[in-house]
Structure 1
Amino acid sequence: MSASVGDRIRMHSNHTDVPDRVGTVVAVLGEDGPPYRVRFDSGEETIVSPGPDATIEAGSFSDKAGLAAEKAEEKAGELAEKAGQAASDATGTAARAVADVADQVAQRFRR
């Protein structure tokens, strides 16, 4: 069973009184498949290796684009923080300029 970031996963329940668990794949941790980091509709996020009682549905383009933007925002924030630390350690204006540009990129992804 193979999924990509943004795909929807449904973990079917084996009991009639327990609902299915449905969520979105937010990261593929294996080389070509499981395990996956899944953010369930309940808000819980966990790592799963789906079994035969799970189905995968292709995610919509907007879901996949939203997750990609979320990851890019996280990375830009990390880079902005590192550049800011480097700028505070350095005396040159070049390091400060890099931090400002990284911060501007991070702010654009937050919009």
Structure 2
Amino acid sequence: MSGSVGDRITLHANSTGSSDRVGTIVGVLGSDGPPYRVRFDNGDESILTPGPDATIEAPSVGERLEQVADRATETARETAEKARETAEDATGRAARAVADTAARIAERFER
């Protein structure tokens, strides 16, 4: 059974009192298949090798586009945060340089 990131996996219940567990493959840890890192719809995440009671389905084109858009949005957020941190660091260094220069100038005037 082979799956890719973004595929939906269903672990079918093997008793009448249990319900199916459904999730999305978020990582393929094997070289060409299982084990998979799965994020279930309830938010839990697990590493598993699916057995015969599991089915894997590729998402529709619309679902795949939504997944790509979600990943792009997250990447953009992370990039923006890193840029903000870099700008704050640069601003802080510039402010310290100005303060140091002002202090040296003040020392010269005191002499």
Scaled to the shorter chain, the TM-score interval is 0.5 to 0.7
Matched length: 91
Unaligned runs of at least 5 residues, structure 1:
92-111
Of 26-35 and 53-62, more deviation after overlay is shown by 26-35
Q: Which aligned pairs between 1:37-48 and structure 2 lie closer than 5 A?
A: 37-48=37-48
RMSD, aligned α-carbons: 2.0
CA contact (8 A) 1:7 1:60 kept: no
TM-score (norm 1): 0.66
Relative to structure 1, the CA distance from residue 43 to residue 88 in structure 2 (aligned partners, 3 Å threshold; closer, same or farther) is: closer
Q: Which aligned pairs between 1:1-111 and structure 2 lie closer than 5 A?
A: 1-91=1-91
Identity %: 62
TM-score (norm 2): 0.66
Of the two, which has the highest radius of gyration?
Answer: 2
Unaligned runs of at least 5 residues, structure 2:
92-111
Relative to structure 1, the CA distance from residue 74 to residue 8 in structure 2 (aligned partners, 3 Å threshold; closer, same or farther) is: same
1:21-66 Cα shifts (integer Å, max 9, x gaps): 1222233343322233333334444333212211111211111111
